[in-house]
Amino acid sequence: MKSYFPKDFLWGGAIAANQCEGGWDEGGKGLSVADVITLKPELSISMENFGKHWEVTHAGIEKAKLTMDTRMYPRRRGIQFYHHYKEDIKLFAEMGFKALRFSIAWTRIFPNGDEDSHNEEGIQYYSDLIDCMLSYGIKAIVTINHYDMPLHLVKKYQGWQSRETIAFFTKYTEVLFRYLGDRVDKWIVFNEMDSAIRHPFTSLGILEEDYESEIEYKSAIYQGLHHQFIAASITSNQLKKYNEKAMMGCMVTKLTTYPETCSPADVYLAEKRNRENMLVTDVLIQGKYPWYFEELKEKEGFVLEIADGDMQQIAKGKFDYIAFSYYMSLVVSADENKCENAVGNFSKGIKNPYLKESEWGWQIDPVGFKTSFIQLYERYHLPILVAENGFGAKDEKDAEGKFIDDYRIDYLKEHLKAMNEAIQMGVEVLGYTWWGPIDLVSASTSQMSKRYGFIHVDSDDFGEGSYTRTRKKSFFEYKKIIASNGQSLYTDELID
């Protein structure tokens, strides 16, 4: 019988501390950028309000610091994974997970980010979490930083704009490798590193109001990203000291883009967008700024300070695999007036008439998923991990109290088949971690009602609910897929 997926394929799911843990003021945790982001129910998901869900100001931060509210600060409560993790891991094990990608909250380890010594309670928590996973045979894939840098570093140092943040970060990573490194064989240094350009506050701790002009703001963003490149490279070397066999991954949001028409100007723009989307992986894998970077810099008009030794350090990076997230494809036109329709947390674009979209306007495209594997593999020739892929939808109980989420099952199956086609072509894929195997707080809109899970969590956008976990129909479907190592996608017979 033909084998569709590699023998040790890592089937699993992905979550992030700031979207699921809660316990924002427990266990010695400090405030992070995630704890000051508010729910903005007055904003509809329209192009007009694009990006506004993420907007944070100094006044907003000061206000947030004075309140213990969790209703309007959803990332403070998440889905209470901090307390429920044993129950949740057991459910993941029931689905047959081989791996769970989760992130560590930097502020549980260094509450302010610049302390001399770490918070032992934080390390203990993650150590227990990993042991719990391993007791079920679930491997840990750890994201070191997923949109939750210490708020203190933002206020005192202007986040990653400051070179000092490199040392704070690499002190944090050294602690992680020392205490957890023996039990984790795959790491991802930064979640969706390219997102620094799209939402600098959550990724870099950079606030627009701190800069006098657009150019200064942009320069700060690219400077912050430059500092992250250096930190990532140092981190990748640190890891090998503690665990030679462990793999370090770098991650990109794969924004696979099509031209609206075959007009050469549209095609040229789409190619450019696809190329620039891979800037972060180009820098980290090739160990230098790519050939097109100078043009980008000139066009965008930003200034970048590269100190002596920076490029030598970046060149030393040791990355073993590429991790990527993929939700949808995008369409661009060289005609700027046309970018009005499709919505998303990624980038403004045009509706694709050949694709269906989610209730949030994300265009569903399994072929684009396959294309993403090919683009990344032919560029880097490194193994690939699907760090995120998923479908956000409003789920309603049926008359019998069940969640029949066939739309999610369809999305899952179509994307898995597309991934399999890439594997059959020869792309080396390590695993697939579905985003949000359990409902959690949305990164872009802070809603709970944008649900991704195979497991429902009883909580509304304001955190009201019992937090009871319920298996949806997709839970049983994913279980079947994993048990058959993907064969059930093609046949209902289970094969040994």
Of the pair 49, 238, the CB lying nearest ligand BGP is at 49
Of the pair 179, 327, the CB lying nearest ligand BGP is at 327
Joined tokens for residue 289:
């700024």
Considering the complex, what minimum distance in angstroms separates the CB of residue 449 from ligand BGP?
11
Joined tokens for residue 162:
């400051």
Characterize 450-463 residue by residue with b for buried, 16 or more Cβ atoms within 10 angstroms of its Cβ, and e for exposed: bbbbbbbbebebeb
Strand 455-457 and strand 469-471: pairing?
antiparallel
- CA angle (417 as vertex; 411, 420 as ends), nearest 5: 140
Of the pair 181, 436, the CB lying nearest ligand BGP is at 436
Joined tokens for residue 242:
């503690």
List contacts with ligand BGP (CB under 6 A). Answer: 16, 19, 191-192, 253, 325, 345, 388, 392, 435, 442-444, 450
Are 217 and 199 contacting, i.e. CB atoms less than 8 angstroms apart? no
Length of the chain: 496
Q: Which helix (H) or strand (E) holds 219?
A: helix 214-242
- Cβ neighbours for 479, distance < 8 A, ≥ 6 positions apart: 94, 95, 96
No. of H helices and E strands in the chain?
18, 12
Are 121 and 109 contacting, i.e. CB atoms less than 8 angstroms apart? no
Considering the complex, what minimum distance in angstroms separates the CB of residue 158 from ligand BGP?
23
- Cβ neighbours for 86, distance < 8 A, ≥ 6 positions apart: 132
Of the pair 148, 320, the CB lying nearest ligand BGP is at 148
What are residue 141's DSSP bridge partners?
A: 101, 186
Residue of 187, 82, 80 whose CA lies nearest to 125 = 82
Considering the complex, what minimum distance in angstroms separates the CB of residue 366 from ligand BGP?
17
First to last CA, the chain: 10
Considering the complex, what minimum distance in angstroms separates the CB of residue 180 from ligand BGP?
21
Measured CA to CA, the distance from residue 422 to residue 307 in angstroms comes to: 41
Q: Mapping DSSP to helix (H, G, I), strand (E, B) and coil, where does residue 387 land?
A: strand
Is 295 a catalytic site residue? no
Q: How far is CA 152 from CA 108, 144, 145, 155, in A?
A: 13, 18, 16, 5
Considering the complex, what minimum distance in angstroms separates the CB of residue 448 from ligand BGP?
10
Considering the complex, what minimum distance in angstroms separates the CB of residue 58 from ligand BGP?
24
Spell out where 293-369 has E strands. 321-325, 330-332
Is 305 a catalytic site residue? no
Of the pair 19, 484, the CB lying nearest ligand BGP is at 19
Among residues 174, 192, 260, 477, the one annotated as catalytic is: 192
Q: Mapping DSSP to helix (H, G, I), strand (E, B) and coil, where does residue 142 land?
A: strand
Considering the complex, what minimum distance in angstroms separates the CB of residue 15 from ligand BGP?
9
Of the pair 259, 390, the CB lying nearest ligand BGP is at 390
Among residues 21, 174, 260, 388, the one annotated as catalytic is: 388
Of the pair 284, 423, the CB lying nearest ligand BGP is at 284
DSSP state of 492: S
Of the pair 451, 472, the CB lying nearest ligand BGP is at 451
Considering the complex, what minimum distance in angstroms separates the CB of residue 435 from ligand BGP?
5
> Which are the catalytic amino acids?
192, 388
